[in-house]
């Protein structure tokens, strides 16, 4: 873990003295954090986004064409910043999680975690023995942290994604799993599983959100949401602590469309000649 993204903290509330990555420290202090999801494979994108003060960037290897070589270059291009790099892997797989951490992710989002067993497996894959089965080979983290073997287990975050009705039924088991410090709601998939796809104002979806935030709070786990479901103020008021402001492609398209509509609206149509 890059030393410029670590702080040393002693906190009797948590009963431990740990070296923590910046995001983990913020969440433990109960702060709301803000990030974006990136799928456009250019280091210029992460370099630019890393310069504006985001708390985290999620590099999405589940639903985009991004590959690990590209993501490594994108993480390198933002390494001067205080923004924490996160990778969402395609599945709960030892090799995928190992590679995400080895190329420089400080946290890994794991999709479709539906049980305690799923959560325990993800945590085990992210930790070195004897607490886990992660294989040694931290190409980038070890360049900046010669003590990475000793600090990685405490610093790395595994973030299960809650996105099915089954995960809701097993939510207490998931969030109470040792090593889980945060979870992320996948709002589109969760609403689809609940039978109210994209109806983020429906009582069924809102009830699920309320339950998620409440259970997370009871277990000192930070609740997060991976995509906007309305104004960001509502996500803050609901109690989310990891809040995505959106994806790069959607944000680019929305803003250019708005600019185009405004521009076309200012065009003066020449009067027809008699």
CA dihedral 119, 123, 125, 131 (to 10 degrees): -130
Q: Specify whether the CB–CB gap between 23 and 84 falls below 8 A.
A: yes
**Could you confirm whether 106 is annotated as catalytic?**
no
Q: Locate 98 and state its tokens.
A: 């190992």
- The rounded distance, in Å, linking the Cα atoms of 33 and 20 is 15
Q: Locate 233 and state its tokens.
A: 């103020």
- Nearest residue to 183 via CA among 206, 214, 148: 214
Count CB neighbours of 164 within 10 A: 18
- The rounded distance, in Å, linking the Cα atoms of 57 and 78 is 10
**Residues ≥6 apart with Cβ < 8 Å to 97:** 89, 108, 110, 122, 125, 126, 134, 158
What one-character-per-residue DSSP string does 129-141 give?
A: TTT--PPS--TTH
Q: Which of 4, 16, 31, 63 is catalytic?
A: 63
Residues forming the active site: 63
């Amino acid at each position: 873990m890059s030393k410029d993204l670590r702080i040393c903290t002693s906190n009797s509330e948590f009963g431990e003295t740990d070296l923590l990555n910046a995001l983990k420290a913020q969440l433990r202090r109960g702060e709301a954090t803000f990030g974006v999801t990136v799928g456009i494979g250019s280091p210029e994108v992460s370099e630019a986004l890393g310069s504006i003060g985001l708390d985290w960037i999620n590099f999405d290897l589940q639903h985009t064409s991004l590959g690990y070589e590209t993501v490594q270059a994108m993480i390198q291009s933002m390494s001067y910043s205080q923004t924490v790099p996160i990778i969402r892997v395609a599945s709960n797989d030892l090799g995928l999680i190992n590679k995400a951490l080895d190329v420089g992710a400080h946290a890994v989002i794991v999709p479709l975690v539906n049980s305690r067993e799923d959560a325990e497996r993800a945590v085990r894959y992210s930790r070195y023995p004897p607490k886990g089965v992660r294989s040694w080979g931290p190409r980038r983290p070890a360049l900046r942290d010669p003590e990475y073997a000793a600090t990685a287990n405490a610093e790395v975050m595994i973030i299960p994604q809650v996105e099915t009705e089954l995960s809701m039924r097993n939510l207490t088991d998931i969030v109470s799993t040792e090593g889980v410090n945060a979870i992320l709601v996948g709002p589109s998939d969760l609403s689809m599983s609940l039978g109210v796809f994209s109806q983020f104002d429906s009582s069924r979806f809102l009830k699920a959100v309320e339950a998620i935030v409440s259970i997370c709070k009871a277990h000192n786990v930070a609740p997060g949401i991976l995509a906007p479901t309305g104004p960001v103020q509502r996500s803050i008021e609901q109690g989310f602590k990891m809040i995505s402001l959106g994806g790069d492609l959607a944000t680019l398209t929305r803003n250019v469309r708005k600019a185009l509509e405004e521009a076309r609206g200012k065009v003066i149509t020449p009067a027809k000649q008699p």
